[in-house]
Structure 1
């Protein structure tokens, strides 16, 4: 239960960051960035778009990270979709682009770090980042940054060059915060190794679970 309370807190914080970016007309990386870009281009609801874009990544998660992690990720993505959908009930407001880039990116970085530390993700590149850190000890912040920059470059079609560059600033802030917590994220994964060795034959042995 404590684990899920931390995950939910991370989702709420991440949702606030996504809402800030949206009201600043900026995008972010990963599947959230793809979804935001699609909402701008096609006037689609973010919550539904974000959930559907993540569906193909669940298969990779199931094959590489196991069922428990995948289930946790699906629940986290669904919760984020639900929380961000509450944006429609908020009064209309605009956020200055610099403020949105820095604070939106910061909130997303903090929220994702909490989610990572408690054995879950928000799909897409998050899954790849955690997998590469667990298997090859690659900094998850750097993995997310490279993937996210690619997404933002594609999203410049919908937000323009200037806002695209500010979006890159946003994901740089996000990645820096995740990198700051990389040791804590890794330690949570390592803490489960003794349990994993005793259950090597089950998919759960491959899942980082918070204490």
Structure 2
């Protein structure tokens, strides 16, 4: 129950940060940002592109992180999609780009960190960042920034230099927040791995006993 509460709270924070970025006209990174760019280029609905891009990451998550993590990730992605969709019910408003970049980036950073610490993610490169931390002990915040930076650079041609630089500032803030919690995120990943070993040992013991 406690984990479920924090997952919902993490999704809520991430959704609020995303809405702030949208109203500040600041670009996001990851598979969501890449899907948005490709949907414009190929004239294909965003949802279809986003779904297709994430399929390989979900397969990878099942193989490396297990079904519990993958199902929780699917739930988290669905929650964020629903919560950000509620933006259309809000009155129209705008936020200055610099303010939106800083505030939105920080809130998203706290939201994603909370999800990571509760053994879930928002799919795509989030999954890859957690796997590389689990296997190679790499900093998930720096990995997140690298992936997002590449996406934002890819979209520079369509958003312009100013918006591009503010987008980089935003993802840098997000990644800094995630890096701050990297030890707690690592502990959560180790806990997941430990539980997996316990289950595997119990299954082997049961087979031998029978």
Q: TM class by shorter-chain length? A: 0.7 to 0.9
Aligned residues: 202
Structure of higher CA gyration radius: 2
Q: Aligned runs of 1:14-25 on 2, under 5 Å?
A: 14-25=14-25
SS of aligned partner of 2:200: coil
Find the counterpart in structure 2 of residue 83 from structure 1: 83
Distance in structure 1 (CA, Å) of the matches to 2:78 and 2:86: 13
Distance in structure 1 (CA, Å) of the matches to 2:104 and 2:52: 23
Find the counterpart in structure 1 of residue 92 from structure 2: 92
Gaps of 5+ in 1: 203-211
Q: Is the 8 A contact 2:57 2:124 kept in 1?
A: yes
Of Structure 1 and Structure 2, the greater helix share is in 2
Instruction: Output one character per residue of 1:69-93: Cα deviation in whole Å (capped at 9) or x when no partner.
Output: 1111111101110000001111111
Deviation at 1:136, TM superposition (A): 0.8
SS of aligned partner of 2:92: coil
Q: Is the 8 A contact 2:125 2:147 kept in 1?
A: yes
How does the TM-score come out when normalised to structure 2? Answer: 0.87
- Cα 1:68–1:201 shift into 2, 3 Å: farther
Gaps of 5+ in 2: 203-210
Find the counterpart in structure 2 of residue 164 from structure 1: 164
SS of aligned partner of 1:91: coil
- Cα 1:109–1:40 shift into 2, 3 Å: farther
- Cα 1:89–1:41 shift into 2, 3 Å: farther
Distance in structure 1 (CA, Å) of the matches to 2:78 and 2:56: 15
Q: Is the 8 A contact 1:10 1:114 kept in 2?
A: yes
Q: What is the CA RMSD across the aligned residues, in angstroms?
A: 2.3
- Cα 1:14–1:47 shift into 2, 3 Å: farther
Task: Identify the range of structure 1 (192-201 vs 144-153) with the bigger mean alpha-carbon deviation.
Answer: 192-201
Distance in structure 2 (CA, Å) of the matches to 1:119 and 1:196: 13
Find the counterpart in structure 2 of residue 9 from structure 1: 9
Instruction: Output one character per residue of 1:26-67: Cα deviation in whole Å (capped at 9) or x when no partner.
Output: 112102222454677789887776555433421221222222
Distance in structure 1 (CA, Å) of the matches to 2:76 and 2:130: 15
